[in-house]
Amino acid sequence: MRLIIDAHEDIAWNILTFGRDPTRSVAETRALEAETQIPQQQGDTLLGYPDYVRGGVAVVFATLHVTPLRRKLHPWESVTYATQAEAYRLARAQADAYRRLVENHAGKFHLMTDRAAIREVLETWAGDAPAAPRVGLVMTIEGADCVQEPEELHEWFAAGVRIVGPAWSGTRYCGGTREPGPLTPDGRRLLHVMDDLALMLDLSHMAEEAYYEVLDRFSGTIIASHSNARTLLDGSPVPDRHLSDAMIRRLVERDGVIGVVPYNRFLKGGWLPENGRAVVTLEHVICQIDHICQLAGDAQHTGLGSDFDGGFGLNQLPTGLDSIADLRFIGDSLARSGYQLADVDAILSGNWLRMLRRSLPES
Ligand SMILES: [Zn+2]
């Protein structure tokens, strides 16, 4: 079966905010939540173990994400912090949620912390109808305010974190979405410790000024787990959330990979839910992927970073996608657009696999 790696899902945030159970199917969670406020708040869910299996989603970069109180938009948002101590406590609770998930459901989920785990997980997916496939989770920090001091990264590494995105909004370490700014002196110290631990660095959400400095300073593996091309998004209310062509070129020069987000507001600038799903299609996703491939001159620097259930659900997805199981349709569309099968596989999984094999410790 054709495998997929998804470079961005806020699974633990969903467990803690909505009490969602990622071992349930999408259909089951939707039915359970039908009479609740959750479909209005977050939308119908897109994630669940049976659907990972159906879609061949073998590895997910799973976030620890907490929201600064100043960016809280809705009263139901509970995973918010005013101080770094609070951010630490809430992110640790998410790391614990992943620990419990992989301990209580070892046949379904597996925490990937080294290269041996990549092999172990992929083996369970061998064949056309794997009997007991396990979804590999690579723990990633999105917004590093939960790291109270750069040296504390050693503790987060021991907890299983292998990727760090210093920004979400601005953090103590650098400017971020809607809050521009450079790397701070603490941000530079953070990069040093990340380099020492060979942690992968995620540039998504990072402000442009800090972005370029990271590319110059950080010697390890660099990705943008969930970011789209700004030039295709005229009318976007948050242009700084997306990557300019110059930013993409620089990341490609460092052999990084960019995860395209199949989310309507990141596919059609100015799109709003009231515009309806029909006006955004898989063609928009293919245009984003193709734009990055054209800038790179090959298909080695693009992947998928769905961000599914990260603040949106079914009603904000392009026509043609109903859940995580359907990411494979993006591969079918790429093939129909003339992409070679080897390139389709690189985009769906191979490029992220290259990043993991390069940065995860051997054991
Ligand atoms: Zn994000």
What's the whole-number mean pLDDT along residues 178-202? 98
Expressed in angstroms and rounded, the spacing between residue 177 Cα and the centre of ligand 1 is 9
Expressed in angstroms and rounded, the spacing between residue 42 Cα and the centre of ligand 1 is 15
Q: What pTM was computed for the model?
A: 0.98
Q: What is the pLDDT of residue 159?
A: 98
Distances (CA, A) of 203 to 63, 101, 270, 316: 14, 27, 24, 24
End-to-end CA gap in the chain: 27
Q: What is the pLDDT of residue 90?
A: 97
Does residue 254 register a pLDDT over 90? yes
Does residue 44 register a pLDDT over 90? yes
Backbone angles phi, psi at 111, to 5 degrees: -80, 125
Does residue 25 register a pLDDT over 90? yes
What's the whole-number mean pLDDT along residues 330-349? 98
Tokens of 246: 């110059």
Expressed in angstroms and rounded, the spacing between residue 340 Cα and the centre of ligand 1 is 30
Expressed in angstroms and rounded, the spacing between residue 102 Cα and the centre of ligand 1 is 23
Expressed in angstroms and rounded, the spacing between residue 315 Cα and the centre of ligand 1 is 18
Q: What is the pLDDT of residue 301?
A: 98
Q: Tell me the per-residue pLDDT of 76-128, one tens digit each, with 9 for 90 and over.
A: 998 899 999 999 999 999 999 999 999 999 999 999 999 999 999 999 999 98
The residue ranges of DSSP E strands in the chain, in sequence order, are 4-9, 57-65, 67-68, 80-81, 109-111, 135-142, 161-165, 174-176, 179-183, 200-202, 222-223, 258-260, 302-304
Expressed in angstroms and rounded, the spacing between residue 168 Cα and the centre of ligand 1 is 7
Expressed in angstroms and rounded, the spacing between residue 219 Cα and the centre of ligand 1 is 23
Residues 6+ apart with CB under 8 A from 351: 257, 299, 300, 301, 302, 303
Lowest mean pLDDT among 77-86, 157-166, 326-335: 77-86
Expressed in angstroms and rounded, the spacing between residue 279 Cα and the centre of ligand 1 is 24
Percent pLDDT > 70 in the chain is: 100
Expressed in angstroms and rounded, the spacing between residue 9 Cα and the centre of ligand 1 is 9
Q: What is the pLDDT of residue 1?
A: 87
Q: What is the pLDDT of residue 121?
A: 98
* Residue given tokens 């909004």 in the structure block: 169
Q: Tell me the per-residue pLDDT of 206-245, one tens digit each, with 9 for 90 and over.
A: 999 999 999 999 999 999 999 999 999 999 999 999 999 9
Q: What is the pLDDT of residue 123?
A: 97
What's the whole-number mean pLDDT along residues 294-305? 98
Expressed in angstroms and rounded, the spacing between residue 67 Cα and the centre of ligand 1 is 11
